[in-house]
Amino acid sequence: MRICFVAPHAYAALSGRADLPPGGGAEVQQVIVSRELARRGWHVSAVTLDMGQADGVVHQGVTIWKFCARKKSRCRPLRTWSKWRALWRAMERADADIYYQRAAGSETGLAALWCQWKRKKFVFATASDTNCIAALPDLRSLGERILYRAGLRMARKIICQTRGQAAALGHHFGVSSTVIRNCTPDPYPGVKRLVRPRDQGPQRILWVGRLSPKKRPDWFLDLAESCPKLRFDFVGGGKPGDPYADPLVRRAAQIPNVVQHGWIPLDRMGEFYEGSALLVCTSSAEGFPNTFLEAWARGVPTVSTVDPDQTIESEGLGMVGRTFAELRASLLSLAESPKRLEDCGVRARNWYSRNHSIARCVSALERELVGGDDAADRTGWPAASAHRATAQDHNAVRTGARRTGYQGSAEFRGASIAEGNDGSNAPAVHGPSMGREWPK
């Protein structure tokens, strides 16, 4: 089976080049999944932007095809058409059976259109809760929103990160989806119970992310100023000359208990998690952050403003604070209770092992990729009723709706989780109108 990942910004993560702008969580997930599928015998390729690499270069079993739009033309329609054509030509060279694209954008519609034309299977995967609400706040232009909506309707499969996303997609867009959890490599394979040694000095608090308004790194600096007895490690960066990021960097340099590390390659992040007592997330909106999984895999609890599917609260993997005051109180509550911190860490490691291992999650994705289409019409365009949630599904979503902590969105309930053969929660659930569970 041949699969191609349409991931314009993933070359840095695929190649491991530290001199290129790092991608986000969506790119990291695609790299993890693509390498595992290649290891399992799939013919795997990726379509990325031209970063100076040779066309058709291979990195760890993944063949990379590049595309680049014409930049010199002053004619905007010509530049747009050039981008479309370059992307489609790269997809043609990949010659895959399945094309997988992750995160809302114009590429969703462009890839789906090409797949419909060529009678290929198109799979879309969400990257954030904001991909699942009608306002689409991350898409700036009307053209992007139109293309994304069209791509959703043309997708043979839609994959979500959480039950809330599945329910929201059914409510806002009338499409059905399958939930497959994110995964990350296990730093301690075979270890069932992990107890981390307690720190003797000041507790180290870790923040990892992009310096952007959505991530709210200023909240982390506010926490550092209000908790002088704790040490705060600040990992991340922004573009040079960024009017938002540069003042934050200067401010962080003036806070004595903050240590700035800038961008750190993914293969070096383990040492930062290992040395931390807690991971803090200050985002206004997320999907299911990779940083959560990377921390939980090492027994590091989370204090967060977001809680995908209420996992942190319900499973005791840390604490949640929607406001700054709540976040600070949660941070101090855990940091000042070593036994409670240790218990949360043990539960975090156990949760990761049961639900977010690469083998478990990629097996779930593999079954979804080779299974039958959600759409009745296999020409590429879904049948009218194939992706439309029923009235009862919408009522269930509306009845269970509950606001999260960020503006303009809501986390919807109404999806149920499938049970594995052993009675534990399987890594996939079905949302409204799916009408099926995982094969057992």
- Count Cα atoms within 13 angstroms, Cβ side, for 251: 15
pLDDT at 71: 60
Closest C-alpha to 357, from 124, 195, 190: 190
Cα separations (Å) of 336 from 53, 224, 313, 330? 50, 15, 19, 10
Which pLDDT band holds residue 238 (cuts at 50, 70, 90)?
Answer: confident
d(CA 115, CA 256): 54
Instruction: Give CA angle at 334 (329, 337), nearest 5°.
Output: 125
Name the DSSP letter for residue 53. P
Tell me the per-residue pLDDT of 251-274, one tens digit each, with 9 for 90 and over. 999 999 999 999 888 889 999 999
Asked if residues 201 and 174 have their Cβ atoms less than 8 Å apart, the reply is: no
d(CA 316, CA 293): 14
pLDDT at 438: 27
What is the average pLDDT score of the chain? 84
Asked if residues 275 and 298 have their Cβ atoms less than 8 Å apart, the reply is: no
Residues 6+ apart with CB under 8 A from 277: 199, 203, 204, 205, 300, 335, 341
**Per-residue pLDDT for 397 more than 50?**
no
Residue 336 phi/psi, 5° resolution? -95, 5
Q: Which residue has the tokens 């991971």?
A: 279
Residues 125-149, mean pLDDT to the nearest whole number = 95
C-beta atoms surrounding 374 within 10 Å: 22
**Per-residue pLDDT for 417 more than 80?**
no
The CATH number for 204-355, chosen from 3.40.50.2000, 1.20.1640.10, 3.40.1410.10, 3.40.50.920, is 3.40.50.2000
pLDDT at 409: 36
**Per-residue pLDDT for 141 more than 80?**
yes
**Per-residue pLDDT for 316 more than 60?**
yes
d(CA 47, CA 90): 6
**Per-residue pLDDT for 228 more than 60?**
yes
Residues 6+ apart with CB under 8 A from 66: 11, 47, 48, 49, 50, 51, 53, 55, 90
**Per-residue pLDDT for 362 more than 60?**
yes
Q: Domain residues of the chain, as ranges?
A: 204-355
**Per-residue pLDDT for 206 more than 50?**
yes
Residues 198-222, mean pLDDT to the nearest whole number = 89
Tell me the per-residue pLDDT of 173-193, one tens digit each, with 9 for 90 and over. 999 999 999 999 999 887 766
Tell me the per-residue pLDDT of 35-79, one tens digit each, with 9 for 90 and over. 999 999 999 999 999 998 999 999 999 999 999 865 655 666 666
Tell me the per-residue pLDDT of 9-26, one tens digit each, with 9 for 90 and over. 999 999 988 788 778 899
**Per-residue pLDDT for 92 more than 90?**
yes
Cα separations (Å) of 396 from 111, 287, 411? 32, 22, 13
d(CA 186, CA 193): 13
Asked if residues 20 and 12 have their Cβ atoms less than 8 Å apart, the reply is: yes
**Per-residue pLDDT for 224 more than 90?**
yes
| Joined tokens for residue 17 | 């080049």
